[in-house]
Amino acid sequence: MSLRMRSIPSLPNGNPISELRVAGRTRTGGLSKSDERFATDEGEINAGSRKELMEKVGSLIDEYRGGGLRTAEAEGSNEEQMQMRSAELIEAYNDPSGRKMKVLGDTIVEELVEVGKRKGFTRQIFGVQPVPQGQDGKVRIRYKQSVAIVAMSATAVKPVRFRERYVRPPVYYLNANLLIEDMEVRLSPVGILEEMFEDGLESSMVTEDRLTIKFLDALNGILNTPVAISGSLTAEIWSTLREAIEAFGNPASTALMAYDYWKDIAGGTAFSQYFDPVTKYQLVLEGRLGSLMGVNIITDAFREPKLQVLKPGDLYIVAPPTNLGVITQHQEMTPYQVDRRNHGEPVQGWFLEQIQGQVAPNPRAVIKAFRL
């Protein structure tokens, strides 16, 4: 996690509180030496043609999976940056007022939310409906007397048959514990914030995305039958998948695609006439590859292995969020400070809490393909 310093209001004794923010090589831009082989100073991928661009994207995926390229979230910082963040953590950890730990917790949550929106696919394919306190978060249904899939927890979904114009999805918690022991800070503080950030992503973005895959799998087979692909993905198969969505009057909006299909798309000439590539290097590293026959492709190929959700051979095409489903957001991710030293445990940190529901009421809005 790259961080920068920004001044904020002072403590009562007049000493400033420092806040950790994205810096150095930020999450949204900035090229390192290793990037210069692939991108111009303006952040465009170096390529002279559409075909070369598609091949470059394939090279990026291969190099990342081989460990030769690292994205901003996984980027190892230089020693000076790591020492600076270590010093900030120690300063916050030892602040008797607790205010610096609060600032640090707020910053980590802000970063988790920002990265989750950009690199997680749940909030790209589901709509988000904020729910005021005291209300139950009802979602209007387009098709009566049908089957909806609702989340029963952060890890489980269930089909529900309904006959009314509204469904009220159950509410569940999406939680994370980001805790540090005194001994870690005393003996080895370098890298702790990076590890905590990755743990936070696994508990928030990855948990949400895994739940969304369960939604898409549960929807498949109700009306659309999953398509088995024997061999390579072809333009004809892609067109068939898109038409399976559009046959019900839903636009085919987004494809969640495992990395291995990219070789099929970029390996020949059949797809090149239909493909509108993303040219911004940073957007590609966020998993947004371009548009194929009007369907936007996103992948988790540029995540650390433990943060990836799609398995090789997974391919889902979905309708827009207004057609697919809704997250009812009762509480956005909120950090609560934890200090267990008063209970005899040498631990500080944060408990992160998010409260929401999730419903996908339209089985017509998704089609799955898989390799045999």
Q: How far apart are CA 179 and CA 201, in angstroms?
A: 14
Does 110 score more than 80 pLDDT? yes
Q: How far apart are CA 49 and CA 213, in angstroms?
A: 35
Q: How far apart are CA 26 and CA 2, in angstroms?
A: 6
pLDDT at 27: 41
pLDDT at 162: 81
Q: How confident is the model at residue 295 (pLDDT cuts 50, 70, 90)?
A: very high
List, in order of start, the domains of the chain with CATH numbers.
45-371 (3.90.1690)
Does 170 score more than 80 pLDDT? yes
Residues 123-138 have pLDDT tens digits of 999 999 999 999 989 9
Of the chain, the percentage scoring pLDDT greater than 90 comes to 62
pLDDT at 204: 96
pLDDT at 3: 30
Does 344 score more than 50 pLDDT? yes
pLDDT at 34: 53
pTM listed for this prediction: 0.87
pLDDT at 350: 96
Q: Is 173 in contact with 332 (CB distance < 8 Å)?
A: no
Q: How far apart are CA 304 and CA 74, in angstroms?
A: 7
Question: Residue 324 corresponds to which amino acid?
Answer: L
Q: How confident is the model at residue 268 (pLDDT cuts 50, 70, 90)?
A: confident
Does 19 score more than 80 pLDDT? no
Mean pLDDT of all residues in the chain?
86
SS3 350: strand
How far out from the chain centre does Cα 253 lie? 18
pLDDT at 12: 33
Of the chain, the percentage scoring pLDDT greater than 70 comes to 87
pLDDT at 101: 94
Q: How far apart are CA 276 and CA 172, in angstroms?
A: 39
Torsion of CA 132, 137, 138, 139, to 10 degrees: 100
pLDDT at 145: 56
Nearest to 108 by CA among 198, 229, 16: 198
Query: Greatest CA span in the chain, whole angstroms?
Result: 69
- Among 22-26, 87-91, 125-129, 217-221, name the one with the lowest average pLDDT: 22-26
pLDDT at 116: 94
